[in-house]
Structure 1
Amino acid sequence: MKRVAVALGAVGLLLLSLTARPAPTQAAWTRPGFSTATAASGVLNPVPTLSCGAASGLLAVSIPVSWTAPPTTGNGVAPTGYLVTYSGTAGSGSTTTTAPTTSVGIPGSVLTIAGSMTVTVYATYGNWVSPASLQTRTITTTLGALGIIIGWTCG
């Protein structure tokens, strides 16, 4: 009887191993609401040229400066504004303007003492700031007979 039970058990195992098994599958998971995005890079190029709107003027007159917009070819980004800084022994400060405007008037009243200041322009896009303009301009105070600032020159 024991032999019959062992034989039946072996036959049962053999039949079990011959029965159809489920086909193997590859698991796949997805995250609901997940999507892909692409990114592109851009460059905020520096302002290429900077010029004086006038060679000289009186202290009561603003000092005009203008520039050309940076190139936007390739992956260049068009600026949304500009930051104009001026600093030196004659005084310092800054002003901003929105694109497409490419000129500002620096108040003559910022010239506080005899000396000079350097003007630099930066292109802006949101909170990005370009490298300094490729050119700068120097504003120098002009003095009257008593050593009082009466005007400026720009070069």
Structure 2
Amino acid sequence: MRRALTVVAVAGMLVAGLGVHPATTEAAWSRDGFVTSTAVSGVLNAVPTVACGQASGLIAVSIPITWTAPPTTGNGVAPTAYRIDYAGTAGSGSTTSSTTSVGVPGSALTVAGTLVVSVYATRGAWVSPAPLQTRTITTTLGALGIIVGWTCA
């Protein structure tokens, strides 16, 4: 009896499945005021060159550093500012600039040694990759071992 009921149920499902189906249609819709947009990506390129504004100077004056803006060709975006980091055995610090030059304060040279200066392009929260060049500032000592000046290379 169970077999007969199972066979009848399966046959009924097959007949129902072979029945008439609704015809397929093609439909389209649009909405007034609906706007589409495209997205593009950008990259903040690394600062390509960093240079010393002077080869040497006294500790009382700032150490001029200049650089060239990163390229904005292709999908490169222009920076809005620059972050200048300097760190090493002679001291450390950081400053910002909206131009392509800055004066690292001579007071950053706290002990005998060196500072490595790195310049990063910034735009809002974006920070470029490491610069392609850095500069090294070295302290110069007087006769009594006191820092009197610096050299930049």
**TM class, shorter-chain normalised?**
0.7 to 0.9
CA distance in 2, matches of 1:115, 1:66: 22
**In structure 2, C-alpha distance between the alignment counterparts of 1:56 and 1:42, rounded to whole Å:** 39
Is 1:64 aligned to residue 58 of structure 2?
A: no
Mapped pair 1:142 → 2:140: yes
- State the partner residue of 2:118: 120
Q: Percent same amino acid at aligned positions?
A: 75
Say if 2:41 is the partner of 1:41: yes
Deviation at 1:27, TM superposition (A): 5.4
Alpha-carbon shift at residue 35 of structure 1 (Å): 3.1
Q: Which amino acid aligns with 2:133?
A: Q
TM-score, normalised to structure 2's length?
0.79
Structure 1, unaligned runs of 5 or more: 1-22
Q: 1-side partners of 2:68 and 2:93: how far apart?
A: 21
Deviations 1:27-78 (A, max 9, x none): 5566786532210011111111000000111010000000011111111111
Aligned positions of 1:17-32 closer than 5 A = 26=26
Deviation at 1:133, TM superposition (A): 1.1
CA shift, 1:136, in A, is 0.4
Give the aligned length: 132
TM superposition score normalised by structure 1: 0.78
Q: Which has the larger radius of gyration?
A: 1
Match of 1:111 in 2: 109
Residue number in structure 1 paired with 2:81: 81
